[in-house]
Amino acid sequence: MPVSLDDKLVVAISSRALFNLEEENRLFDAGEPDAYMRLQLERLDVPAAPGIAYSMIRKLLRFNDDGIQRVEVVILSRNDPVSGMRIFNSGAAAELRVQRGVFTQGRPPYRYLRPLNADIFLSANASDVREALAAGFPAAHVRVDGALASALHPDEVRIAFDGDAVLFSDEAEKVFQLEGLDAFQAHETRKAAVPLGAGPFKPFLVALHRLQQASSTGMRVRTALVTARGAPAHRRAIQTLMNWNIRVDEAMFLGGLSKGEFLREFEPDFFFDDQTGHVDAAARHVPAGHVASGISNGP
């Protein structure tokens, strides 16, 4: 029978999201691709340091420790195939079981998400993320200049999500931005029992929920909803998750407070938000990524 990834949690990730390649990337951004390739070849056997999403990837791969392949990580990169050798070497040196990769030598890679049946795409390239979201895949622009994850929870992958325009649709966010807070509160009170539509990251949350239920490795998933909503708008968010038959381990209804310090205490391996201000505040403390969806990010 042909090999299939259909029953796996598939994470597609760019080289720079997984490893710290910022020194090398400065040459590429400066318009010196040949110098970039030479440096990568010179460092072929020098393992790259962990990048922003490294902790989350390492922990997710540990769900395979009992010999059942539940998680598949695929490198999906604008790198050239030769530079891709260093990425695989770095993964092997870190004992990350990553065996698949697509290297497009500068071309947009998002088209390969469909044959991979990817559950999420993480990239340091903002335009690739937008194209992936437009194609219907959960995707986030990784803040490569942000903080690395804490090492305090080796047996628990911790992932935090914003609500509106990330887990949920931006229906309510549109009311808030176009009509103000009072209209938003009235709208959410009136529709408290009506589930919100799915946002771009609902499928990833569902996949994490499924992974937790299937695991027998001692690893677990801990999720948090971290939202600017406060009471009474909290009720609709909770009702929506109940309608989806999904629970989160923690919920923070912050009523507009900055999320960064709350996330510092939760210590996630990654946080996803649609608003750059929240991502900037979070990235000072934890790994974070921007989800370029909803009214906050244009058409």
Q: Which residues are catalytic?
A: 162
38: region left, alpha or beta (phi > 0 left; psi from -120 to 50 alpha): alpha
| Residue that has been written with the tokens 């507009």 in this structure | 256
Residue 54 CA to residue 60 CA, distance in Å, equals 10
> Two tokens at 123?
């990239």
Instruction: List C-alpha distances in Å: 181 to 36, 94, 186.
Output: 49, 48, 9
H or E segment and range at residue 271: strand 270-273
Residue 205 CA to residue 237 CA, distance in Å, equals 14
Residue 164 CA to residue 19 CA, distance in Å, equals 30
Cα atoms found within 13 Å of the Cα of residue 65, Cβ hemisphere only: 13
Phi, psi of 248 (to 5 degrees): -105, 155
Cβ atoms of 55 and 269 within 8 Å: the answer is yes
The angle formed by the CA atoms of residues 168, 172 and 174, to the nearest 5 degrees, is: 115
Residue 193 CA to residue 195 CA, distance in Å, equals 6
Direct distance between the N- and C-terminal alpha carbons of the chain, in angstroms, rounded to an integer: 43
Cα atoms found within 13 Å of the Cα of residue 9, Cβ hemisphere only: 23
Length of the chain: 299
